[in-house]
Structure 1
Amino acid sequence: MTDSTAPQIPLDAATIVLLRDSDQGIQTLLLRRDTRLANMAGMYVFPGGKLDAADQESACTALLDQPPASLHAALAEAAISDSAAAGLHVAALREALEECGMLLAEPARGDARLDAVRARQMLHDGQGFAQVLRTLGLRMATRALVPWSRWITPIAPALATRRFDTRFFLALAPAHQYAMHDNEETTASLWCTARGALERYRDGSISLAPPQIMSLAHLSRYATAAQALAAARSQHPPTIQPHVFAQDGLQMHCYPGDASHPVHQRALPGPTRLVRDGNSFLPLQGFEALFA
């Protein structure tokens, strides 16, 4: 007999934070999840999803632009295998194509066709990611991905029905490609500066979950995509498992470096905790504390 109250083992997942420069500053892509979905319904998220078994199979690893061992080293996670690390990179690239139509790939042969629209349609028609790339003469551009952070859903049953162990990757959005939601899992697309997205959240026009709030606050500290990518390359991606507890009748979400978090070393810039007020999560000191 299983214990339904036991914490669920987090599912491995990957998220890709696509970046582009604009006159307003660095922008990132957010997608609105369908309101009928069981998890994070109606919220704006970065493209991503769970690791599929096929992401680790030889058909995919044969199309990598660098060895699985190098991808493992980039993640700096001793507890996972080379194939799992490679699979997480594959999952990020696959989800970028599935969810928003962005194809991060490069030619593998002379007749290669970097056709993101066709590639996405082939996926939609049921072809596997590796099959799509082979047909188009492409291989995966894992070098375009920079591991940024690792978020583990906290042990708090009231917050979510499923837990995920999600690796966040930064990447430049491919030039001359057009990002668009899939009208299945996602129903709207938004290119926005990090601060602009957070202001929309503050004003109630979009919904965000704490990992997106904290990641956007982090991203807001960079003026260009190159700065953000360089900062991510300069360190191993920190692991962030929020600690959730009640204090003075409020639900607190605290992060590494907070006095109430078991990990004392800070992992992120900005506030070390958010307080939940209904469906809103903000620092105790107010909105501007996200950028302090």
Structure 2
Amino acid sequence: MSFTDTPPENPAVPRDAATVILLRDTEQGMEVFLQRRVAAMAFAAGMTVFPGGGVDKRDADASVSWAGPPAADWAAWFGGTEPVARALVCAAVRETFEESGVLLAGTEDAVVADAARYAEARQALESRELSLAAFLADAGLTLRADLLRPWAHWITPVQEKRRYDARFYVAVLPSGQHADGETTEAESSAWQRPQDALADAEAGRSTLMPPTWHTLSELTRFSSTDEVLAVDRKIKTILPTIIRDGDHIRVIMGDE
């Protein structure tokens, strides 16, 4: 990120984006899946982040087979229109699959237990040769929106050249599936307890953007994925402000 406290005359319009906080339970406690983005990325280069990315125009395809809360519910939880809400959920599922190999899809009665069989489709999705709707239709799969929960809504500060209107979702790793780092956008991937990820950042072993740091701090209050899924979240839009404090740059949290 380019840290400047001077707002531009014409701020960039934020692009709709979806971020998925992928969780699992272990004997050591609840863990979250994190990836360190490659240094060549145009946005958040070298940062440790959750899987996610911008909405593709094809994510709005209404032909996607869907199970779980309808788009109207997601629009009510996050605000906005039903078409945008639907595209965001599709982007969340697509990006999670592309970046971690975890597929939040199946039938209305069961979730995919081995997503590795769709490795070729995953590559085609990442290269944009294939749309989510076409992939699911060809594989006879249904998007499982019921595996997601709304968590947060962040908008990139106005000072940034690349801005995102990002909705954050929580999902638990489906039984039988495995998360990996086989994506061109990440140089490394790992499961960590939230408190350990924060300790790495505090020690300078990783770098976190404010939304990631804030989310990890929230997750330290939970001991299991069941506790996280049971939370009744009231989503408020957060638009941080960047200010200069002497020789330092501070990020001030605030609701839009």
Partner of 1:266: none
Cα displacement (A) at 1:135: 2.0
Partner of 2:202: 202
Matched, 1:117 2:116: yes
Cα displacement (A) at 1:236: 2.2
> Does the 8 Å CA contact 2:152/2:237 hold for their aligned counterparts?
yes
Partner of 1:223: 223
Partner of 1:151: 154
The CA distance in 1 between the partners of 2:156 and 2:59, in whole Å, is: 22
Which consecutive unaligned segments of at least 5 residues does structure 1 have? 257-261, 264-292
**AA of the residue aligned to 1:124:** Q
> Does the 8 Å CA contact 1:34/1:186 hold for their aligned counterparts?
yes
Which consecutive unaligned segments of at least 5 residues does structure 2 have? 1-7
Cα displacement (A) at 1:10: 0.6
2:67 partner SS: coil
The CA distance in 2 between the partners of 1:113 and 1:242, in whole Å, is: 38
Task: Map 1:1-292 to 2 at 5 A.
Answer: 5-60=9-64, 63-66=65-68, 67-75=70-78, 77=79, 80-107=80-107, 115-125=114-124, 126-157=129-160, 161-231=161-231, 234-256=232-254
Pairs aligned (count): 244
Cα displacement (A) at 1:172: 0.6
The CA distance in 2 between the partners of 1:228 and 1:114, in whole Å, is: 22
> Does the 8 Å CA contact 1:15/1:169 hold for their aligned counterparts?
yes
> Does the 8 Å CA contact 1:98/1:120 hold for their aligned counterparts?
no
The CA distance in 1 between the partners of 2:109 and 2:247, in whole Å, is: 61
Q: 1:16 to 1:31 in 2, by over 3 A?
A: same
Q: Deviations over 1:251-273 (max 9, x none)?
A: 221113xxxxx76xxxxxxxxxx
TM-score by length of 1: 0.78
Q: Which has the higher contact order (CA 8 A, sep 6+)?
A: 2
Q: Deviations over 1:177-197 (max 9, x none)?
A: 111123411121110010100
Cα displacement (A) at 1:114: 5.3
The CA distance in 1 between the partners of 2:153 and 2:73, in whole Å, is: 18
TM-score by length of 2: 0.88
The CA distance in 2 between the partners of 1:235 and 1:189, in whole Å, is: 28
> Does the 8 Å CA contact 2:105/2:112 hold for their aligned counterparts?
no
**AA of the residue aligned to 2:91:** A
Q: Deviations over 1:138-192 (max 9, x none)?
A: 10010111010001011224xxx30111000011111111111234111211100
The CA distance in 1 between the partners of 2:214 and 2:118, in whole Å, is: 33
The CA distance in 1 between the partners of 2:98 and 2:140, in whole Å, is: 18
> Does the 8 Å CA contact 1:108/1:137 hold for their aligned counterparts?
no
The CA distance in 2 between the partners of 1:174 and 1:45, in whole Å, is: 20
The CA distance in 1 between the partners of 2:171 and 2:29, in whole Å, is: 16
1:195 partner SS: helix
The CA distance in 2 between the partners of 1:137 and 1:74, in whole Å, is: 29
Cα displacement (A) at 1:120: 3.7
Partner of 1:284: none
Q: Deviations over 1:102-159 (max 9, x none)?
A: 011121599x9754123242131332212221222210010111010001011224xx
The CA distance in 1 between the partners of 2:207 and 2:120, in whole Å, is: 29
